[in-house]
Amino acid sequence: MTVSASSHTSLRVTRAGIDTYQQPIAYMHRDCEVCRSEGFVAMTRVRIQVGDRFLTATLNVVVNEQIALDEVALSEAAWNILEPDVDARATVRHPAPAASAGALRAKVFGARLDDAQYLTLVEDVVESRLSDLELAAFVSASAGERLDHGETTGLTRAMISVGQRLDWGEGTVLDKHCVGGLPGNRTTPIVVAIIAALGYLIPKTSSRAITSPAGTADTMEVMAPVSLDIPAMRRVVEREGGCIVWGGNVRLSPADDVLIRIQRPLDFDSDGQLVASVLSKKVAAGSTHVLIDMPVGPTAKVRSDSSADSLAARLRHTAEAVGLQLGIYRSDGTQPVGVGIGPALEARDVLKVLNNDADAPADLKERAIALAGALLELAPGSASGTGIQRARAVLHSRQALAKFLAICEAQGGFREPPQAALTADVAAPLEGRITAIDNRRLARIAKLAGAPTSPAAGLETALRVGNTVQHGQPLFTVHAQSRGELAYALEYARINQPFSISTEGA
């Protein structure tokens, strides 16, 4: 009997219909001939080729009859990369060893990597040649201060080189980024609107939440579409001067998107990777002048002045090496900003500020004006000391609101933020004065309530350090879409009170 080589070594491609986020996963039956002959077991890395497209995926082995013996099923991430035709067949093989395996091993044991090694490593990251376990090892080996300034620059250059770069022609292109860790600090939509209203280019790509209850992209998405591709993003910027889009969809720094996926469950950041992440995306977006908002406080991401000094020095060193003009704005990170924490609640604060409502959060408004002013003064030809005045005038005249709505319309249309189905107050356990607020606990409560997965979820509080409260007075209001999530949030809040209240001098 003659057996066709192609029928023996190739498998029918089917869609598993399983969302594995950005991780390509393949599913094969344990008795599949290819699986057995190649010696594949669960969690094996496999190279899948369909036509002229290929990827490296992680194998999950199926032990029942959900998968036929002659097929390979693909997760959504793998399916979208390979884009197989109807009746497509795939060859599945062991991949060649990752070229960066030696460099990765060296980094785990504390070695310093050079630019060429980082480029090889980042290329393997983008091509999915490294497993999540290997990526987690790299993230862990780079945590804290384990990347020096030169390595940070090398990683940044590598991340720039493997992605696309936008070119806006000659002239100034402004941008801003917040280091993070401060709940409710949703200044970006306001700053973009002010800067664009004044005629500057500000093509803002933003991230979704990694460890917080909302990222800028999450908040913007409740008001307008953010999953634009590069041509659509370019049309918005050419029409309105600015945009606020999700960076993961334009994939200007695709390696960073992968590393963020690994960092999310680990729930920690490396200064070196943070700098490489931020600055690679700014260069890729075509920015020339970038302002970094760095909140500093005991429960913010940057907890002390010494940590801020270290991070600022790393940012400046790398920015100079990759040709960016950089400004750093240190801000108060001791307490939250605005009233809402969570995508829709933060969006409501943004709209109140842009609309000059009487109940707009004053701290969010003033912080946004200060940041917009500092960014304006980074631009060549700006008169020193005039930035805040210009920003305030544009906001008060409602030109910023008009520009923001125009940007929303250009991105696909404005929509009102949703409201949660359920709310519950958390009351003060005693009378006294608020002496401290734990930002991390507030963020945790908002996340347990469902944010950012449920856009309307989160919490609201207008209380700040120095305010006095009465026993039984609401400290904050939790918003949730389900009773289970509301109960989780309230139980955590009961045990982990985010407000420190002193009875002395009350």
**Residue carrying structure tokens 């809402």:** 340
CA angle 110, 46, 263 (to 5 degrees): 40
Closest alpha carbon to 178 in 310, 313, 315, 22: 315
| Distant-in-sequence, close-in-space partners of 385: CB < 8 Å, separation ≥ 6 | 377
| Cβ-contact 222, 420 below 8 angstroms | no
Cis peptide before 452 (omega within 30 of 0): yes
d(CA 290, CA 112): 29
The answer to whether residues 454 and 480 touch, using CB atoms and an 8 Å cutoff, is yes
Q: Residue 432 has which token pair?
A: 């006294």
Residues marked as catalytic: 269
Q: Are residues 455 and 222 in contact, defined by beta-carbon separation less than 8 angstroms?
A: yes
Count of CB atoms situated within 10 Å of the CB of 307: 15
Indicate the helix (H) or strand (E) that contains 49. Answer: strand 45-50
| Strand spans (E) along 315-437 | 325-332, 340-341, 422-427, 432-437
Q: Which residues of 26-51 are buried (b: 16+ CB within 10 A; e: fewer)?
A: bbbbeebebbeebebeeebbbbbebe
Element (H, E) at 92: strand 89-93
Query: Which of 321, 272, 312 is CA-nearest to residue 293?
Result: 312
Write phi, then psi, for 121 (nearest 5 degrees): -65, -45
Alpha helices in 188-304 (DSSP H): 188-197, 216-221, 230-240, 247-250, 254-266, 271-284
Closest CA to 178 of 86, 79, 291, 94: 291
Determine the Cα–Cα distance for residues 504 and 506; give it in Å rounded to an integer: 5
